[in-house]
Amino acid sequence: MARVVVLGAGISGHTAALHLRRMLGKGDQVVVVSPNSKWNWIPSNIWVGVGKMTSDQVTFPLAPIYRRKGIEFHQALATALYPEGSSDVASPHVAITYTDPARVNESATLSYDYLINATGPKLNFAATPGLGPDGHTLSVCTAQHATETAARLAAVIERMRNGERQRLVIGVGHGTCTCEGAAFEYTFNVEHELRAAGVREMADVTYFTNEYELGDFGVGGMVFAQRGFETTSKMWTESLFRERGVHAVLQAHVEMIEPGVIHYEQLDGTKSTLEFDFAMLLPPFRGADLQAFDATGQEVSSEVFAPSGFMKVDANYAATPYEEWRAEDWPSTYESARFANVFGVGIAFAPPHQISRPRTSPNGTVITPAPPRTGMPSGVMGKTVALTIADRIKSGESVAPHKASMATMGAACVASAGVGLRNGSAAAMTMYPVVPDFQRYPETGRSLKDTFGEIGLAGHWIKYMLHLVFIYKAKARPLWFMIPE
């Protein structure tokens, strides 16, 4: 009998847990530890943030699903890993502290044969003074944040109806943020709602980003083949900005936020301020606050985790210049660099470097998007690691791991630009591979056949379909496993 503990119940962890339960025998145990009681389809938080969906439409309680599937669930926060055991518990184990209201602050240890770290991001609002719901800006990172943001947006629209001009700033709140795609989506959903409310002419909408140019999205931009020409995501995105009358501030790192004022630095070293009446700025991410200890009780966190708090896996972490980055730098098995029975997946694994070209201001400020590894790649990693663990439990530890590198996997991104079954819009994009491979695709780093983008109502339908399908899948309804990650 084997016991697999999964830390985190987001897209990656939940996917891994469900596949493990499906693949392992009844005698094997699958245990999930998550500080949250609910699963959240985060891509639809955008729609909660403009009041088009409620929090309940994008979340559901995890406990009933896990009870039905025979997965042990602990609503708790993992605090420390003991992969070699400790003086108290001989077997590998993880220390947890309950967030479950019935056992709040109670501590426990969970032994494991295999551990998956899918703890996702810590929303690091503290990296920028004044950033976040506890400061002076808003967020759509959680369903609760998005609900609060929708109420503030409604208030702003009401002020515009009363004849008051408003300045709306949407983007990212630090030079090293990721998820620019989500900020882009929220920008155009807000713009769409302003037009629907008849107040568009009363609003100045600004997209605020750390990207070097529009259309970068943290993946170094894309090149599409359209109508016999190569075109770029930069041109394509700028066209949408022009069409919808949205301004942009690029190459920006937020230094501090005061009530109604963003203080920022740009790549050329200039420092400026931007005033706002409404600001939704995403935070940078860092890894969960997890420590690791060896058998003697010595802390080995620096060997297990990168300084960012993300888990080191089978990537090439040697510091190399951009020109020497290779597709092979990216991990494929997600096995911990230190412990073979520990895996880091989804946002929790430490990427070897950015995907976009790294840039630093003359003041030494890094202003470069961190690589996105949410959504589809996260689900694929979760399933890949589940396959490896299931094989090893059934056939022995020497079984070769399954592989899924972001340099050999594609991703679909459907960026909503407005809700509505008849008048909605979205930019549907695919890229293959996520991490450019200039050895394999010397011209653009990606397959021109499989990298494309298209704006239209169909994109909105696809986004809404994905909302329904992935919630169905996450609820482990019949044949859920037939739905690709």
Q: Where do contacts with other proteins occur on this chain (CB under 8 A)? A: 213-214, 235, 238-239, 241-243, 246-252, 266-268, 270, 272, 332, 376, 380, 383-384, 402-405, 408-410, 412, 422-423, 425, 428, 430, 432, 450, 452, 454-459, 461-462, 484-485
DSSP assignments along 91-141, one per residue: S-EEEEEE-STTSTT-EEEEE-SEEEE----EE-GGGSTT-STTTT-B--S
CA gap 251, 209 in Å, rounded: 6
Q: Based on CB atoms, which residue is closest to other proteins, 166 or 332?
A: 332
Q: Based on CB atoms, which residue is closest to other proteins, 384 or 416?
A: 384
Q: State the minimum distance, in angstroms, from the CB of residue 419 to other proteins.
A: 14
Q: Based on CB atoms, which residue is closest to other proteins, 3 or 467?
A: 467
Q: Based on CB atoms, which residue is closest to other proteins, 159 or 403?
A: 403
Q: Based on CB atoms, which residue is closest to other proteins, 272 or 363?
A: 272
Q: State the minimum distance, in angstroms, from the CB of residue 179 to other proteins.
A: 19
Helices in 336-416 by DSSP H: which ranges? Answer: 375-395
- DSSP-derived pairing of the beta strands 271-275 and 261-266: antiparallel
- CA–centroid distance for 169 within its chain: 21
Nearest to 300 by CA among 117, 109, 80, 90: 80
Q: State the minimum distance, in angstroms, from the CB of residue 433 to other proteins.
A: 8
Q: Based on CB atoms, which residue is closest to other proteins, 241 or 325?
A: 241
Q: State the minimum distance, in angstroms, from the CB of residue 161 to other proteins.
A: 26
- DSSP-derived pairing of the beta strands 29-34 and 72-82: parallel
Nearest to 80 by CA among 33, 37, 36: 33
DSSP assignments along 202-254, one per residue: GEEEEEE-S-SSTT-TTTT--EEEETTEEEEHHHHHHHHHHHHT-EEE-SEEE
Q: State the minimum distance, in angstroms, from the CB of residue 417 to other proteins.
A: 10
Q: State the minimum distance, in angstroms, from the CB of residue 284 to other proteins.
A: 20
Q: Based on CB atoms, which residue is closest to other proteins, 147 or 266?
A: 266
Q: Which residues contact 279 (CB under 8 A, 6 or more apart)?
A: 136, 137, 138, 168, 169, 170, 257, 262
What does DSSP assign to residue 90?
S
- Quick check: bond before 101 cis, omega within 30? no
Q: State the minimum distance, in angstroms, from the CB of residue 278 to other proteins.
A: 20
Helix (H, G, I), strand (E, B) or coil at 269: coil
Cβ–Cβ < 8 Å for 284, 127: yes
Cβ–Cβ < 8 Å for 424, 460: yes
Can you give the C-alpha Rg of the chain in angstroms? 22
Q: State the minimum distance, in angstroms, from the CB of residue 434 to other proteins.
A: 9
Cβ–Cβ < 8 Å for 323, 113: no
Q: State the minimum distance, in angstroms, from the CB of residue 77 to other proteins.
A: 30
- Residue 215: phi and psi, rounded to 5, are 85, 0
Cβ–Cβ < 8 Å for 61, 74: no
Q: State the minimum distance, in angstroms, from the CB of residue 274 to other proteins.
A: 12
Q: State the minimum distance, in angstroms, from the CB of residue 455 to other proteins.
A: 6
- CA–centroid distance for 75 within its chain: 21
Q: State the minimum distance, in angstroms, from the CB of residue 410 to other proteins.
A: 4
CA gap 101, 193 in Å, rounded: 38
- The secondary element (H helix, E strand) that includes residue 372 is none
Q: Based on CB atoms, which residue is closest to other proteins, 282 or 381?
A: 381
Q: State the minimum distance, in angstroms, from the CB of residue 298 to other proteins.
A: 37
Q: Based on CB atoms, which residue is closest to other proteins, 293 or 470?
A: 470
Q: Which residues contact 60 (CB under 8 A, 6 or more apart)?
A: 38, 39, 471, 474, 475
Q: Based on CB atoms, which residue is closest to other proteins, 57 or 239?
A: 239
Q: Based on CB atoms, which residue is closest to other proteins, 438 or 461?
A: 461
Q: Which two tokens stand for residue 209?
A: 């980003």
